[in-house]
Structure 1
Amino acid sequence: MTSPANTLSGTVPGTAMEVPHSGGSQAPHHPVPPGAVDCHHHIFDPRFPRANSRSTIWGTVDDYRRLKQRLGLSRSVVVSPQSYGFDNRCLVDALDALGEQARGVVAVPPDVSDAELDRLHLHGVRGVRLYLIGDAPTPPERFIDYARRIERLGWHIQVIAVEGEALMAAEPALQALPCTLVIDHFGYVPQPEGAAHPTMAALLRLLANGKTYVKLSAPYITSRLGPQGYADLDAVAVALIKAAPERVLWGSDWPHTLVTTDPKPDDAAMLDRLVRWAPQESVRHRILVDNPGRLYWKD
């Protein structure tokens, strides 16, 4: 549950509070607009054992509701984590608990039935997450098979590259997709080269095709400077927003399973960083409200 909207300023103030797996306790300095969406978070519930041991923390729906309240967020997108494999029971349970204010992105095998896809759609799923490298990568040439399966549902493919070079190698296959494409975590543009790295050029070419979105999420994955604002990603974020402000999204990546030391990232500080990247309030409204609304809540 989020705080009431501030009708005078058109913003939703957050609430100072402790949140599991989130550093700090203060609300964002810059309140978000009503309807703001966290486009990337996970849920880990002990009622649903993991398929593998990639993550050991638990972050439940109740825990996440506290983060929404702290940040002033209205809606969110639950993303399948690698540790649950193709088991989407926890994700579907979270979508049911969060209701119409949530959408989901699942991991499914290539031979998933149409009936299962239809069932997931009814629970609020709107995309499939595929990995370019990692424990269970999908060859880029197989992405088209998923695109054909999900076309009738209007879903998108969300891709996690893990390494920027993997995104470069997959670019021809990604450009050929007939469906919408969403790229996680700044496209994994490597640091310290950042915006000067060839991965950035590939990412901008994908954005130029009019069908690709990119998430400003999990800056700690590629940052070399660390949690004092992750300032080395500023140039990457600004360039992405300049290139396609209508197809940029923001996500928390809570509960930050890739960060194995304390303190955990400060979600309020990461959300405030968006003001540096997009000083214009109208652009931030597009990133936090309009763009995710069009992508996830079009039906």
Structure 2
Amino acid sequence: MTEPALREGRSAPSPECPPPHPSPRTPSLVLPPGSCDAHCHILGPAEVFPYSPQRTFTPLDAPKEQLAALHAHLGLSRAVVVQSSCNGSDHRVLCDALAAGGGRLRGVALIGETTTRAEIEALHSAGVRGFRLNFLPHLRTAPTRQEIDSVLERVDGLDWVAQLHVTGSGVADCESLIRSLPGRVVIDHLARVDLADGPHSPALRVLRTLLDTGDVWLKVSGVDRVSRQGPPYADAVALAASFVAHAPERVVWGTDYPHVNIKGAAPDDGLLVDLLTDIAPDPGLLRRLMVDNPTDLYDFPPDQHMEQT
């Protein structure tokens, strides 16, 4: 692959970026109206929205039309689109999706010391309501405290969510940082804890303690990433259910579509929806998880009826 092709985002997809499931099943679970996919990505098309030359992986295209079709199939009517690290700080693909979303979408941005306040205010106007901090080495070098403070200064007054992506012992390693962040913090994908460390691991103990502060939220998504058993991911589903029971007012859920940087085949998104029957087994818990909590966390209009995509 030539260097010009790399710059234009056309290199072959990385091995850890398999295609999404070719035929996700129709969920048996009927989700409540206004249900939100609180973590998904829009990727490409690369010919229109080139991937960053500094990216650490190259995904297959998963444009906004593809995501909308999946949401219609699953019964989801709102979504939070998270800027992928393969796009870096170029938010054109995110803003394009938000503009086409008709109020159904919110965004989470990737910003840094070079992002200006004017750029951030434009992102806010477009529908961005959070910024992501990546602590996974395969995505980027972990941000320094100076970088984080610079970001916090730039988003001051916007009530954005700080979204942390950690793995293994990361939530315990970052405990003091998380406690020091102003406003609300949401931790991605069950903190991607290692279930091999057991149910009383330092990471899980810290995670429960952080949830008890009232300022920390958890995405009970990514059971396919956390499970050590494979589908239907019973070990990770049980963990997710325990957190929904522990802090029902501070949990949200997402598909993580199109499931980049994984080992093996992508999960069946219809199955992931059906697993919510076990993760939030009560209708009231399910509504909190899928409707009320994401509405609060990501500043969706609370009374606006949202048709399915």
1:154 and 2:159 are equivalent in the alignment? yes
Question: After superposition, what is the alpha-carbon deviation per residue over 1:215-255, rounded to whole angstroms, capped at 9, x for unaligned?
Answer: 112222222111x2111113321221122100100000000
Among 73, 80, 103, the alignment partner of 1:77 is 80
| 4+ long deviations beyond 4 Å | none
The answer on 1:43 being equivalent to 2:45 is: no
1:82-93 to 2 correspondence within 5 Å? Answer: 82-93=85-96
Contact 2:250 2:293 in 1 (8 A): yes
Contact 1:48 1:90 in 2 (8 A): yes
Residue 8 of structure 1 is matched in structure 2 by none
1:75–1:194: structure 2 CA closer, same or farther, 3 Å change rule? farther
The change in CA–CA distance for 1:275 and 1:169 in structure 2 (over 3 A counts) is same
Calculate the TM-score normalised by the size of structure 1. Answer: 0.88
Matched, 1:203 2:202: no
> In structure 2, what residue type is equivalent to 1:87?
D
Distance 1:239 1:125 in 2: 30
**2:233 and 2:146 mapped to 1: Cα distance?**
34
Q: Secondary structure at the match of 1:237?
A: helix
Structure 1 pair 165–297 and aligned structure 2 pair: CA distance change class (3 A): same
Alignment partners' CA distance in 2, 1:93 and 1:107: 16
Give the percent of matched residue pairs that are identical in Structure 1 and Structure 2.
34
**Deviation (angstroms), 1:206:** 1.1
Which AA in structure 2 matches 1:139?
T
Q: 1:147 to 1:53 in 2, by over 3 A?
A: closer
**Is the 8 Å Cα contact of residues 55 and 257 (structure 1) preserved in structure 2?**
no
Q: 1:139 and 1:195, CA in 2 relative to 1: closer, same or farther beyond 3 A?
A: farther
After TM superposition, the score normalised by the length of structure 2 is 0.85
Secondary structure (helix, strand or coil) at the match of 2:169 reads helix
Q: Matches of 1:247 and 1:129 in 2, distance apart?
A: 18
RMSD: 1.7
Q: Is the 8 A contact 2:112 2:147 kept in 1?
A: no
Unmatched 5+ stretches in structure 1: 1-19
Alignment of 1:134-283 (within 5 A): 134=137, 135-139=140-144, 142-161=147-166, 163-226=167-230, 228-259=231-262, 261-262=264-265, 264-283=266-285
1:28 maps to what in 2? 27
